[in-house]
């Protein structure tokens, strides 16, 4: 590495999880069904037949999990709240036991010096709201803001970092366009409506926060930088389409007040004309942006690929993870620098970054050697430092994930954790990558300089 790795003082080093992926007991203590409890109960939807019924049993082991984070020297923990634990029907009556679960978790984190970073929506919509149209019903902006307000009123102050939505692109692309995630629709006409309502809901929650909250609120998006496979104009246009669809679809309306023009080409007659005033709601000022980065894609024009007409060219020489994603650390630097250039200088948190590599189901002798994940982590932290060096105001990084967990429709087989979970016994074992990460957090990244 040419430049020494340096991070600002008070940089927030942490880990991330989400409710349905780790908690288990999704219906305990008065909680309602979500689109994920339904999806998982539908044969064929989760490849392995796995469900989140037990998952990492974090719902019962949260205290031990916080103690584990403390032992690893973590300064922050990003987790999500399950809407249907708080409001079992999505709107209306509040389930006190649901709030108490998260209240205890927050208090325990604070008592251990760990900053809670709370996401209000990480994909587990209450099933009762799906029955009313879910993200296709424009009323969802109000439903979401009302739900958010319950939590702001109860937890703001103890929680100083709120996120409205995790990865709206995945909610729409997986849930409404390609049908691989709950609620499993495959519909070109629904996708833009779901996206737009996600953005309106985000805006409505931020607006509610300004009335009752006193700290920070932001949005978390996933960015996958797009590089052209060649200089051919068709490939360059394909790259712009892919970038507009995945990377600018949410950020442009939030920061620039309009959708990228490419979306009209992609969706054709399925792309509605949106009311101008919606963009005032969507464009609420944010205190930070959260960016999730996993990989890049190299794009070429492919007429047959519905609906984008873009295909990714696999980079044969590169390392790929168990989810088939290319390991490409410079893409993290590029993403952060490009964000700042296009949207300006607002505080940035990398809220997810990590890798699935094979680990055995049981940790033998108390140790899990995961050199590929550790190497990947090291390189991404160096890429993060390069963005800091180039003037991006990055303030924190939360690894995906604290624990091996339910990788949505791929089940438990894809392990992203820096802590191993034995899914038969629930036992946790920090992997070598966790020990490395503890040292990164302890030295604020400087330990990586000794390794060069
Ligand atoms: C999601 C996580 C998911 C991870 C790895 C992100 O898109 O926010 O829930 O497990 O990527 O696929």
pLDDT for 363: 96
Q: Is residue 413 part of a domain?
A: yes
Q: What is the CATH number of the domain that holds 140?
A: 3.20.20.80
Q: Ligand 1, atom 10: nearest CA belongs to which residue?
A: 407
What is the 11 CA–ligand 1 centroid distance (Å)?
23
Q: Is residue 1 part of a domain?
A: no
Using the atom order of ligand 1, give the atom closest to the CA of residue 408: 10
* CA dihedral for 343, 349, 351, 353, sign (positive or negative): positive
What is the 294 CA–ligand 1 centroid distance (Å)?
9
Q: Is residue 5 part of a domain?
A: no
Q: Is residue 6 part of a domain?
A: no
pLDDT for 450: 86
Confidence band for 110, pLDDT divided at 50, 70 and 90: very high
Q: Is residue 7 part of a domain?
A: no
- Contact present, 78 and 72 (Cβ < 8 Å): no
- Contact present, 333 and 386 (Cβ < 8 Å): yes
Q: Is residue 400 part of a domain?
A: yes
What is the 50 CA–ligand 1 centroid distance (Å)?
17
Model confidence pLDDT, tens digit, residues 14-57: 999 999 999 999 999 999 999 999 999 999 999 899 999 999 99
Helix (H, G, I), strand (E, B), or coil: what is residue 185?
coil
Pocket of ligand 1 (CB under 6 A): 18, 21, 166-167, 170, 222, 292, 352, 400, 407, 416
CA angle in degrees (0–180, nearest 5) for 418-61-410: 50
The dihedral formed by the CA atoms of 325, 69, 387 and 451, expressed in degrees to the nearest 10:
-90
What is the 452 CA–ligand 1 centroid distance (Å)?
30
Model confidence pLDDT, tens digit, residues 265-299: 999 999 999 999 999 999 999 999 999 999 999 99
CA distances to 170, 253, 257 from 339, rounded to whole Å, are: 19, 14, 16
What is the 113 CA–ligand 1 centroid distance (Å)?
26
Model confidence pLDDT, tens digit, residues 90-105: 999 999 999 999 999 9
Is the pLDDT at 249 greater than 80, yes or no?
yes
Q: Ligand 1, atom 3: nearest CA belongs to which residue?
A: 407
The residue whose CB lies within 8 Å of the most ligand 1 atoms, and thus the one to mutate among 352, 354, 404, is: 352
The residue whose CB lies within 8 Å of the most ligand 1 atoms, and thus the one to mutate among 400, 412, 417, is: 400
- Domain hosting residue 56, numbered range: 12-451
Using the atom order of ligand 1, give the atom closest to the CA of residue 400: 4
Residues with a known catalytic role = 167, 352
Single pTM value for the model: 0.98
Model confidence pLDDT, tens digit, residues 155-209: 999 999 999 999 999 999 999 999 999 999 999 999 999 999 999 999 999 999 9
Q: Buried b / exposed e across 305-319, counting CB within 10 Å, b at 16+? A: eebbbbbbeeeeeee
pLDDT for 351: 99
What is the 269 CA–ligand 1 centroid distance (Å)?
31
Count of domains observed in the chain:
1
Confidence band for 257, pLDDT divided at 50, 70 and 90: very high
Using the atom order of ligand 1, give the atom closest to the CA of residue 416: 5
Is the pLDDT at 1 greater than 80, yes or no?
no
pLDDT for 451: 73
The dihedral formed by the CA atoms of 80, 83, 87 and 90, expressed in degrees to the nearest 10:
170
Q: Buried b / exposed e across 31-44, counting CB within 10 Å, b at 16+? A: bbbbbbbbbbeeee
Using the atom order of ligand 1, give the atom closest to the CA of residue 166: 8
The residue whose CB lies within 8 Å of the most ligand 1 atoms, and thus the one to mutate among 19, 168, 408, is: 408
Helices (H), 179-318: 190-212, 233-243, 251-256, 262-267, 278-282
Q: How far apart are CA 401 and CA 135, in angstroms?
A: 27
Q: How far apart are CA 81 and CA 19, in angstroms?
A: 6
CA distances to 44, 373, 401 from 433, rounded to whole Å, are: 33, 6, 11
Using the atom order of ligand 1, give the atom closest to the CA of residue 356: 5
pLDDT for 452: 55
Q: Is residue 310 part of a domain?
A: yes
Q: Is residue 3 part of a domain?
A: no
φ/ψ of 152, rounded to 5, equals -60, -45
**What six digits make up the tokens of 173?**
């692309």
Mean predicted confidence (pLDDT) in 343-354: 98
- End-to-end CA separation in angstroms for the chain: 7
What is the 292 CA–ligand 1 centroid distance (Å)?
9
- Contact present, 193 and 267 (Cβ < 8 Å): no
Q: Ligand 1, atom 12: nearest CA belongs to which residue?
A: 407
């Amino acid at each position: 590495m040419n430049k020494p790795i340096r991070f600002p003082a008070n940089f927030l080093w942490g880990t991330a999880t989400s409710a349905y992926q780790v908690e288990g007991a999704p219906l305990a203590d008065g909680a309602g069904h979500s689109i994920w409890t339904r999806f998982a109960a539908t044969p064929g939807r989760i490849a392995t037949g796995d469900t989140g019924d037990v998952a990492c049993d974090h719902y019962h082991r949260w205290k031990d999990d916080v103690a584990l984070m403390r032992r690893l020297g973590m300064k922050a923990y990003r987790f999500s709240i399950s809407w249907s634990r708080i409001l079992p029907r999505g709107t209306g009556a509040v389930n006190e036991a649901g709030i108490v679960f998260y209240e205890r978790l927050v208090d325990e984190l604070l008592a251990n010096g760990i900053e809670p970073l709370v996401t209000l929506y990480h994909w587990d919509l209450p099933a009762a709201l799906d029955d009313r149209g879910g993200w296709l019903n424009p009323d969802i902006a109000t439903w979401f803001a009302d739900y958010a307000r319950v939590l702001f009123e109860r937890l703001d102050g103890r929680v100083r970092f709120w996120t409205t939505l995790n990865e709206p692109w995945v909610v729409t692309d997986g849930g409404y366009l390609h049908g691989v995630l709950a609620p499993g629709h495959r519909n070109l006409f629904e996708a833009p409506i779901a996206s737009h309502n996600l953005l309106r809901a985000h805006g409505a929650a931020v607006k509610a926060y300004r009335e009752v909250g006193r700290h920070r609120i932001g949005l978390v998006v996933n960015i996958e930088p797009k590089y052209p496979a060649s200089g051919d104009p068709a490939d360059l246009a394909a790259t712009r389409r892919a970038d507009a669809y995945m990377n600018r679809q949410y950020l442009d309306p939030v920061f620039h007040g309009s959708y990228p023009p490419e979306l009209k080409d992609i969706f054709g007659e399925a792309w509605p004309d949106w009311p101008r005033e919606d963009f005032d709601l969507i464009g609420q000022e944010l205190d930070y942006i959260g960016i999730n980065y996993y990989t890049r894609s190299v794009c070429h024009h492919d007429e047959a690929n519905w609906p984008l007409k873009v295909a990714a060219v696999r980079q044969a020489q590169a390392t790929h993870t168990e989810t088939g994603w290319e390991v490409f650390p410079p893409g993290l630097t590029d993403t952060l620098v490009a964000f700042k250039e296009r949207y300006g200088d607002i505080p940035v948190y990398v809220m997810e970054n990590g890798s699935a590599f094979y680990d055995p189901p049981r940790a033998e002798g108390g140790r899990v050697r995961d050199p590929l994940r550790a190497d990947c982590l090291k390189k991404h932290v160096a890429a993060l430092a390069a963005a800091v060096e180039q003037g991006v105001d990055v303030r924190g990084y939360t690894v995906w994930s604290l624990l091996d967990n339910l990788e949505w429709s791929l089940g438990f087989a894809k392990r992203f954790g820096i802590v191993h979970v034995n899914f038969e016994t629930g036992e946790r074992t920090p992997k070598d990558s966790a020990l490395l990460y503890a040292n990164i957090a302890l030295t604020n990244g400087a330990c990586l300089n000794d390794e060069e």
